[in-house]
Structure 1
Amino acid sequence: MLQRHQILLHTSYKCKKSNFADVARTFSSASPLTLTAVAECVRKGDVITANSEEERQVLRLMRELNVLTASVPGSAGSRIAVRNEIRGMQMEKGLPSFYLTVNPADVYSPILKFMAGSEIDIDNLLPEDVPHFHEQSILVSKNPAVSAKFFDLYINAFITRPTEGKDSSLLNPVA
């Protein structure tokens, strides 16, 4: 819902300057019913079929316009913007000498199940105690806050290094 709200607030369209007059004329002349009909066809995966000349114009309009959503986190435009930023950093600073991707798989972690309130002895974990993907997926969907806390815990445990001689319990992080 939040991403849809961001899309509605921050989406813009871009077209070539030479095509702007034609695009604006087509966009202003298209009826809302035709736009809805074409949007429904596109939603179903059909981007070719047009039943009228007006629908053909709307499909042509869709090919002419580029949707810009770079300021909406998680959108395709946002990913492209981040990739371009990474490329710029590579041009300025050179290629990275070390690259790492961390993937905290919450749907397989007994720690998340423990954080959600299940009684698990993590120190003596048996194979049958490891959560199954389906039940863990349901747990994650019902407890998104626990999933977020697990992610934060996992990433902080990865980034920080325990200091020698101090208690570095991961399940009770000090804020």
Structure 2
Amino acid sequence: MYYDKRFQTDLQFPFVTFSHLQVKLSTTGGFLLAKRNQFDGISERLLNIKEETLKDLINRMSSGEYVKAVTDAEKDCFKIIHDLDHINGRVYGSTTSKKYMRNEIWSLVAARGAPSWYITISPTDIKHPIALYYADTKEKFIPEVKEYADKFRLISHNPVASARFFHFMISLFIKHLLGIGSYQTGIYGPTAAYYVSFVRN
């Protein structure tokens, strides 16, 4: 956290940054897929796909019908969707990335069993002094009682501070209460497994 927080307090900056990141990851994923040996098959399917078959599948899926590929044309359409998943799986916030996370969770349940605890955590950033310090521009931490409007203004103008505070609190919960990466056992006993998704660099 730096004294100069112009990028953090810019309302358009997070949206623009995330959009550029998605474009970058989509482009990189496309290049990686194109270098593989199935590039010829993918390009051939894209060139020879039948538009009427694709529209028919879209209409049937939109109506809630369970669609299973029967003809060769329908199988080619499903293969294209599978090919696109290789790219979208690398893009943050995409439908495919969420599908992959669901698959990871189901795999974890299959390996370790159903969860014993469901814990919902919602750190209140607007009332916590650490979050307010992250959102402020002061380099030294000086505890002071602020009005509700001032606290709300600080937090709402700096979403980066809220995100960093949430990450900080969840990391403490995982380490000290669950005992992950700590020398002592968590308060719930030995933790067999947990699932959390952080943005990967």
Q: TM-score normalized by structure 2?
A: 0.43
Higher relative contact order, chain-length normalized (CA < 8 Å, sep 6+):
2
Structure possessing the higher radius of gyration over alpha carbons: 1
TM-score by length of 1: 0.48
